[in-house]
Structure 1
Amino acid sequence: MTSTAPPEDEQPTSTIAISGLVIALAILFVALRFYIRISTKAGLGWDDFLLLAAVASTILTAVLVLWASAVNPHGNWVAEAIDPSYQFVAIDVFYSKLTFVASVLYFTIAGSTKLSILFMYNRIFSVNRQFRIQLYLASFMVLGWWVGCTVATLTNCIPLRYSWINALADPRYCFNFNIYWMAAGAVEVVIDIVILSLPVRVVLGLQLSRRNKATVAMIFLLGGFVVVTGIIRTILGYHRGHYREPLYSPVEVWTMLLQSQG
């Protein structure tokens, strides 16, 4: 049984540090990318604009998380509270609303980033018809995951207010978010592996310039890191036992790291 009051010494220092780093890196990276693309007259494509959408959503998410942590430093404890005697106060509800919006935005960040990578594949490689079909199929897979998870999160409780008035995921109104978290994370890892493996055959058969070779190498390194991060996030977030809510505190940093890959 969880104690009926949050610990007094808990501070969200790691959340604040990672959120601040994510905002700084996101702005710097996208600014440099757009500057290089424009200054070299390479032109901007869908991959650039999708990345811009991902970065904008990342910044908004980081701001929401920082705001929630400032309003309620013990918000993670509250979100994971399983004691039915604990009553949410006003700051608990406000914290839950902010983090709920952030959780919905996560799928926009991840979805637009994955689509940006697929569009970049299409731009970098001299692709054949078979590879284009694979890119289309992968894109539809990403879109399906993005829309499906967004809708599921928005309807995880009906009426929606049960998403933030307590952390018990009342089975009369809410589905089991703990299992959903695990399933959505597992599917995302599979999609990341598919995206990472798509260009392998094409790359092996191409004569690339040094610049494109470096770009491809960075894609694979980043993709491998994303896959590992996604696996860790999914495993750490799953709340073993008869719980209806995942564990948020162990995965907060890993989630921010995933978002920073935009």
Structure 2
Amino acid sequence: MAWNVANFVTLAVLFAFLSIISIALRFWSRRVNKTKLGIDDALIIPATLCVVGIAVTMIVGTALGEMAQHQKLEIGPGGPIYNNSRATYEKCNYVLQLLSLASLGCSKTSVLFFYRRIFSIHKRFELINTTLIVLIIAWAVSFFFATAFQCKDPVTFWTTFEYPRVNCVDAYSFYYSVSTTGFITDLMILSSPIPIIWQLQMPLKNKLAVACILLLGAVVCGAGIARFVTFINVGRGFIANIHDVTYFTTPVFAWTMIESSLAVVSANLPILRPLLQKQTYTDSYLWSMLRSTLPLMAGYNQQTPKSGSKASLPRKFHHAGKDGSSGYQVSMDGVQMEPVPPLDHNIYMQREYEVA
């Protein structure tokens, strides 16, 4: 794709707008559905602000740093001159890296806390979820500070050309590790609820529906792969284009914006279902569904009889007249019922009788 200032700025504004709209709809959905706000909602706010910051930085970079433009190289007696435009470009590059890591870290953690809301009934999942939360926070914080101090003196990043820079990490290897580990963490997050979804006592089509809703983050994996491939290609041709860096690196910044924005949007989409349908697989519905399909996996149903024992339950029988009249209702206490043998995972089936 041939980049220019117009389509670069348009991309920045468009994806920032998508993030803002999605978070606005998220909180509207919470209000419509009368759902209590949680940590997942709180975390998506800074993630969105970072995406907006990325858009602003991209616009500033095009206006003052020749970003998405062919570099206007000034040659002096000793070689290329490091001018103000190049310094602004490098500052924007530096800020974009930090904002992207902060945004992705908050988005990933928000998704994990959203899963925690739904599947906290499952103790094993809760343990896995906690481990992933700690891992993602460690990933985001460690790479954030590693990026901030990739040069011993951060000022070096925007005061000298890439070659030769001293007391700095190898940029190619560093960005490679960030992209690779980021993609791996995305896969870990997306795959974490799959085992529970597969265990739900519901038709296959419903399982697939739930999985599709929760796996909307797969689009982020796609964007992450595209960004990674773009970075590899840019890295291989970087030396050959060393005097036109401001234009040659444009695709990396574009995919940085796309990935960060889609991470926010995909974290918000599962919460928007109440705006489209009365019956939803998110939050309260998923919670009640899990309680009904996997009740004893959390051990919260204390009234379920043990295997081999009888349950004494109050029963109500409703008699309807032939003409459709309401008839009468008879209550019977102490009806003895043989329990159904336990299924896997200590799940017990309940019999229900309706007499007409």
* TM-score using structure 2 length: 0.63
Closer/same/farther in 2, CA of residues 85 and 208 from structure 1, 3 Å limit: farther
| Residue pair 1:11, 1:73 contacting (<8 A) in 2 also | no
Cα displacement (A) at 1:125: 2.4
C-alpha distance in 1, partners of 2:210/2:195?
Answer: 16
Map 1:110-149 to 2 at 5 A.
110-149=104-143
SS at match of 1:175: coil
The residue aligned with 2:176 is 182
Distance 2:201 2:120 in 1: 10
- Distance across 2 between alignment mates of 1:16 and 1:129: 46
Does residue 20 of structure 2 align to residue 27 of structure 1? yes
Tell me how far apart the structure 2 counterparts of residues 10 and 199 of structure 1 sit (CA, whole Å): 39
1:30-179 aligned at under 5 Å gives the runs: 30-74=23-67, 85-168=79-162, 170-179=164-173
Q: What is the CA distance between 1:158 and its match in structure 2?
A: 1.9
2:236 to 236, 240, 257: 240
Work out whether 1:251 is the aligned partner of 2:252.
yes
Matched, 1:201 2:202: no
Paired residue type of 1:41: K
Structure having the higher strand fraction is: 2
8 A contact 2:143–2:178 mirrored in 1: yes
Measure the CA separation in 2 of the matches of 1:258 and 1:235. Answer: 13
What one-letter code is carried by the residue in structure 2 that aligns with 1:170? P
Q: Aligned equivalents of 1:28 and 1:66: distance in 2?
A: 20
State whether residues 101 and 144 of structure 2, in contact with CA within 8 Å, keep that contact through their aligned partners in structure 1: yes
* Partner SS state of residue 186, structure 1: helix
1:206 offset after TM fit, Å? 2.1
Distance 2:51 2:207 in 1: 27
CA contact (8 A) 1:75 1:92 kept: no
Deviation readout 1:69-120 (Å, 9 max, x if unpaired)? 1223346655xxxxx9322211221232133112111111000000000001
Whole-Å separation in 1 of the counterparts to 2:56 and 2:45? 17
CA distance in 2, matches of 1:65, 1:214: 37
The structural deviation recorded for 1:67 is 1.3
Q: Within 2, Cα distance between the matches of 1:213 and 1:156?
A: 43
For the structure 1 residues 103 and 40, does the alpha-carbon distance in structure 2 shift closer, same or farther, using more than 3 Å as the test? same
How far is the alpha carbon of 1:189 from its aligned partner? Answer: 0.6
C-alpha offsets along residues 181-229 of structure 1, whole Å, 9 cap, x if unaligned?
0111001111001111100001111257999975641331x32221122
Corresponding residue SS for 1:41? coil
* Contact 2:65–2:87 under 8 Å retained in 1: no
2:218 is the counterpart of 1:218: no
Residues 43, 106 of structure 2: 8 Å contact kept: yes
Give the distance between the partners of 1:211 and 1:63, measured in 2 at CA. Answer: 42
What is the Cα deviation at residue 52 of structure 1? 1.2
Deviation at 1:10, TM superposition (A): 6.7
Q: CA deviation at 1:42?
A: 0.6
Q: Which has the larger Rg?
A: 2
Q: Report the AA paired with residue 217 of structure 1.
A: C
User: How far 1:250 sits from its partner (Å)?
Assistant: 2.5
Higher share in helix: 1
Measured in 1, the distance between the counterparts of 2:50 and 2:38 equals 19
Q: Using the alignment, how far apart are the partners of 1:10 and 1:230 within structure 2?
A: 20
Aligned to 1:230: 224
Moved more, 248-257 or 62-71: 248-257
Query: Which of 1 and 2 has higher RCO (CA within 8 Å, sep 6+)?
Result: 1
For 2:202 and 2:34, the matched residues in 1 are separated by 20
In structure 1, distance between residues paired with 2:28 and 2:166: 52
